[in-house]
Each structure stands twice: as structure tokens, then as C-alpha cells.
């Protein structure tokens, strides 16, 4: 691999596409179904990457295909700001009912996770009248100017692209395996949750902070799960100071953890929730859902965009939500049990695995050169990814050091495909 057809396309790609557009594999997809991808040379792969978490209900899900196709027979686009359409309103109603928080909500739509981040920040600022946004080490929030400013990892996402947006402040994320304070649970007292208290004394006044934006589970940062005490304490501090909480559920939402959203099970009730990626199973769509009073803070015309809430994408999203609530969430929980049990075995058997973690099917292995120093094994992770795709499994890495293997397999994956994929992963760990 790659086969001759892929090689020919790779050469054309080199001539036509900038080098800054990274590719994990040299594979060109010809067709896909469920959790399988067939490339242009006829090779079939089990996919544990899912378009970086964009196809939770599976490639070419019949109900999603039918819903999108039916909408295309009516109209592709109107621009909701000119002539409105019912799928937008119905989807907003569904998101208001499903998103975390026991309070009245409203929703509007954009095209990507980065757009949703930018709009959530705009709403937080206009509602509070404050400029500051607190974000976290190892976070990823997108590649547009403000979203990139909130993103932590420098290379490749920020390198050479400054200056960055002002009034963004960063504090440590509760990454217990690599505790920024050198402490261990439970003796640490969850001091990371109190970091903002000191931060308000040293870096920015609390009454100048509009919101804290946080991924309930780090995505690109390595599928890091906070300890259970973290969010309730952080949330209490925010409430005391009138600071809004924005939950970036772009990667961990829409069924990725076996639940519709990750926040509730982690003790977080955000004021704004951001959804994207799998919300429309690969069609460009994102949702910003929040407290009614926050969402209504912008003046008429202050939020929106030409393509946000495209009717075809909205129709697909409604079918996605039906699929998730119709059994796919339960399927995700079962997949998560299998994957995480197997990952625990991998950790016991292979010294290269420093940590195995996650929630449901959102699971990860952190590879290290040795367990004492925890030195990130980035090159081993790259070799592992190559081994896997050469043996019929697509995997992707994560983490600031590129040493984390994450699983984003479609929840439509069959049991035998899941087992085969895990077996290839184990072979890859042995080879590393």
C-alpha cells in the first residue's frame, strides 16, 4: 500500500493541494458502508477513525441517506435568513430538548466546530459584557483565528499563524496521568479545580471573564477524562463569579461516549453546548445550544451565516438523532465495554502502553518509551498507525505529543469487525 490507483492520485494531490493539508494515510476512498472503507484499489479497511469522529452512526447510514436525499428533491438551500425552512426549526427543537441543562434553551446552526466556538464566545461576551475567555492546556477548539487562539497545541495548528486573538487565558486541564502539579489522586485534593481562584489573583480579574470554554473530555488533546470531583467544583467557582461555561462537545458529543452528550455524566451543566462532527454524520453542520437568555443576547442579525442550518444537513441530522435514540447509543455503550476491557488487557501486557482511558467507545491508549519517565513515544505511535493501515485497520493519533491512539469507530461496526480491528491493534503493539 498504497496501490497503483492511490499512487496516481497521490501524485496529482501533490501537484494540486498545499503541503499544509496533512494526511494520516495514503488511502483514497472509493466507497464506504457502516465501519468499512474500500479504497480506489479495491482494498477494504476497518475504520477506527470515523472521519475524526464525524460518522458515529456509520458510513452511508440508510436512514440518513434517505433523509438527505428526500430533502434534495425539495430544495438544497434557501439561506435561513432569507426564506426559512422547517428542518431548521425542528432540529432546533430537538437540540433544545436533548442538550445538557435543566433550563429553557434555544439553538442556532453554523457549519463547523470552529464556527460554533466563535459564535458561542460572541454570545458569552455580549451577554456578560466581559471580554475574557479562559481555555485549557491541551485543548483543541478549531483553526479559525479565535478558535486557533483557544487551541493549545502549537505545532502544527498555531506555528507561524500569529498574532492571536486577545483576551484568551489558559489554565491546566485535569490530566491526571500527567498532572501539571506533580500530584496524584486522591491525595491531590483536585487542586486543578481551584486553579481559577489563584488565576484571578495573578492574571485576570474574575469580573472581566465572560466564559470558560472546555471539552468535557479532551479530543485532540488525548481523550483525557477529568476526575469526577473536577466539574462540580469548577462549576461552583464559575457560578460564584458570574462566568458562563461553554462545553465544546464537538468530538465527545452525539453518541461518542455512548450517551448523547458527555457533560451530564461528568457532573457538568454548561450554559452553552457546542455540537458538530457527527451531528449530521459528515455533512457540514454545527449547533450552538444554550440558555434562552444567553442566546437572545445578540441583536437581530448579530449571529448566523449564509449556509448555517442548510436544509439537507438539518434533515440528515434529524435522522442521526433518530438513529442514536433508536438503539445506537446502547450499541455504543456495548462497544465501549468491549474496547475498554481489551485496552485494560493491553495496558497489563505491553509496557509501551502507559495509560488506557476513556468513556464508553471514546477510548485511548497513551504510548510511552518507559513507564517511569512517561516519555511520549511519538515515533512508536506513528509506526503503530502505519502498521495498522498496512494490515487493514485505519487508526489515528492524538495528544500534544502525538503519542496517543484514539478510537472513533462508527457505532454501526459489526462485532466481528470490532474484534478484527482490536486484534490488529494488539499485533501493532507487539510490533512496536
Confidence of residue 189 (pLDDT cuts 50, 70, 90): confident
Q: Where in the chain is the domain with CATH 3.40.640.10?
A: 64-323
Q: Which one is the CATH code of 4-61+327-431: 3.40.50.1000, 3.90.1170.50, 3.90.1150.10, 3.20.20.70?
A: 3.90.1150.10
| Average pLDDT value for residue range 393-408 | 97
How large a percentage of the chain has pLDDT more than 90? 95
Q: What is the pLDDT of residues 108-131, one digit of tens each?
A: 999 999 999 999 999 999 999 999
Asked whether the predicted pLDDT for residue 409 surpasses 90, the reply is: yes
CA-based R_g, the chain, Å:
21
Contact 367, 384 (CB under 8 A): yes
Contact 270, 246 (CB under 8 A): yes
Q: Where in the chain is the domain with CATH 3.90.1150.10?
A: 4-61+327-431
Which residues are CB-neighbours of 230 under 8 A, at least 6 positions away?
Answer: 174, 190, 192, 193
pLDDT at 33: 98
Nearest to 94 by CA among 280, 234, 238: 280
pLDDT at 187: 84
Q: How far apart are CA 91 and CA 89, in angstroms?
A: 5
Round the average pLDDT of the chain to a whole number and report it.
Answer: 97
| Average pLDDT value for residue range 34-42 | 98
Q: In what order do the strands lie in the sheet with 362-367?
A: 353-359, 362-367, 404-406, 396-398
pLDDT at 303: 96
Asked whether the predicted pLDDT for residue 45 surpasses 90, the reply is: yes
Give 246's strand partners: 213, 272
Contact 288, 124 (CB under 8 A): no
pLDDT at 1: 79
Confidence of residue 388 (pLDDT cuts 50, 70, 90): very high
Asked whether the predicted pLDDT for residue 191 surpasses 90, the reply is: no
| Average pLDDT value for residue range 323-347 | 98
| Average pLDDT value for residue range 365-390 | 97
Q: What is the pLDDT of residues 56-71, one digit of tens each?
A: 999 999 999 999 999 9
| Average pLDDT value for residue range 267-285 | 97
| Average pLDDT value for residue range 173-195 | 90
Q: What is the pLDDT of residues 137-150, one digit of tens each?
A: 999 999 999 999 99
- For residue 2, whether the previous peptide bond is cis, meaning omega lies within 30 degrees of 0, is yes
Which residues are CB-neighbours of 408 under 8 A, at least 6 positions away?
Answer: 48, 49, 50, 51, 52, 53, 251, 256, 362, 396
Contact 297, 127 (CB under 8 A): yes
Q: Distance from CA of residue 141 to its chain's centroid?
A: 9
Asked whether the predicted pLDDT for residue 186 surpasses 90, the reply is: no
pLDDT at 185: 85
Asked whether the predicted pLDDT for residue 279 surpasses 90, the reply is: yes
Q: How far apart are CA 325 and CA 86, in angstroms?
A: 21
| Average pLDDT value for residue range 253-260 | 98
Domain 64-323 has CATH 3.40.50.800: no
Amino acid at each position: 500500500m498504497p496501490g497503483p490507483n492511490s499512487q496516481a492520485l497521490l501524485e496529482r494531490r501533490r501537484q494540486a493541494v498545499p503541503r499544509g493539508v496533512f494526511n494520516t494515510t495514503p488511502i483514497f476512498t472509493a466507497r464506504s458502508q457502516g465501519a468499512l472503507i474500500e479504497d480506489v484499489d479495491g482494498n477494504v479497511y476497518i475504520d477506527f477513525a470515523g472521519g475524526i469522529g464525524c460518522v458515529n452512526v456509520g458510513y452511508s447510514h440508510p436512514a440518513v441517506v434517505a433523509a438527505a436525499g428526500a430533502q434534495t428533491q425539495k430544495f438544497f438551500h434557501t439561506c435561513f435568513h432569507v426564506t426559512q425552512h422547517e428542518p431548521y426549526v425542528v432540529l432546533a427543537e430537538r437540540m433544545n430538548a436533548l442538550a445538557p441543562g435543566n433550563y429553557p434553551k434555544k439553538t442556532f446552526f453554523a457549519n463547523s466546530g470552529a464556527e460554533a466556538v466563535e459564535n458561542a464566545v460572541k454570545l458569552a461576551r455580549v451577554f456578560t459584557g466581559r471580554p475574557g475567555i479562559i481555555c485549557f492546556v491541551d485543548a483543541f477548539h478549531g483553526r479559525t483565528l479565535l478558535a486557533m487562539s483557544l487551541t493549545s497545541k502549537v505545532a502544527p495548528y498555531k506555528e507561524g499563524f500569529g498574532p492571536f486573538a486577545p483576551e484568551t487565558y489558559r489554565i491546566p486541564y485535569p490530566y491526571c496521568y500527567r498532572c501539571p502539579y506533580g500530584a496524584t489522586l486522591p491525595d491531590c485534593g483536585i487542586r486543578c479545580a481551584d486553579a481559577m481562584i489563584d488565576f484571578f489573583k495573578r492574571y485576570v480579574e474574575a469580573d472581566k471573564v465572560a466564559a470558560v470554554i472546555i471539552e468535557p473530555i479532551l479530543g485532540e488533546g488525548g481523550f483525557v477524562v477529568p476526575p469526577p470531583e473536577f466539574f462540580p467544583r469548577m462549576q461552583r467557582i464559575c457560578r460564584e463569579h458570574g462566568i458562563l461555561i461553554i462545553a465544546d462537545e464537538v468530538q465527545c458529543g452525539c453518541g461518542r461516549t455512548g450517551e448523547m452528550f458527555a457533560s451530564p455524566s461528568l457532573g457538568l451543566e454548561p450554559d452553552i453546548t457546542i455540537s458538530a462532527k457527527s451531528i449530521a454524520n459528515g455533512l457540514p453542520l454545527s449547533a450552538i445550544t444554550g440558555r434562552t437568555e444567553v442566546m437572545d443576547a445578540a441583536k437581530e442579525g448579530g449571529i448566523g451565516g449564509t449556509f448555517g442550518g442548510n436544509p439537507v444537513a438539518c434533515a440528515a441530522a434529524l435522522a442521526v438523532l433518530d438513529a442514536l435514540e433508536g438503539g445506537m447509543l446502547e450499541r455504543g455503550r456495548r462497544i465501549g465495554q468491549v474496547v475498554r476491557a481489551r485496552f485494560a488487557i493491553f495496558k497489563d501486557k505491553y509496557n509501551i502502553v502507559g495509560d488506557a482511558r476513556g468513556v464508553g467507545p471514546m477510548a485511548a491508549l497513551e504510548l510511552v518509551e518507559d513507564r517511569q519517565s512517561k516519555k511520549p513515544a511519538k515515533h512508536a505511535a506513528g509506526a503503530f498507525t502505519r502498521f495498522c493501515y498496512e494490515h487493514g485497520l485505519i487508526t489515528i493519533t492524538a495528544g500534544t505529543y502525538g503519542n496517543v491512539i484514539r478510537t472513533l469507530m462508527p457505532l454501526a461496526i459489526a462485532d466481528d469487525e470490532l474484534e478484527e480491528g482490536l486484534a490488529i491493534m494488539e499485533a501493532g503493539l507487539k510490533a512496536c
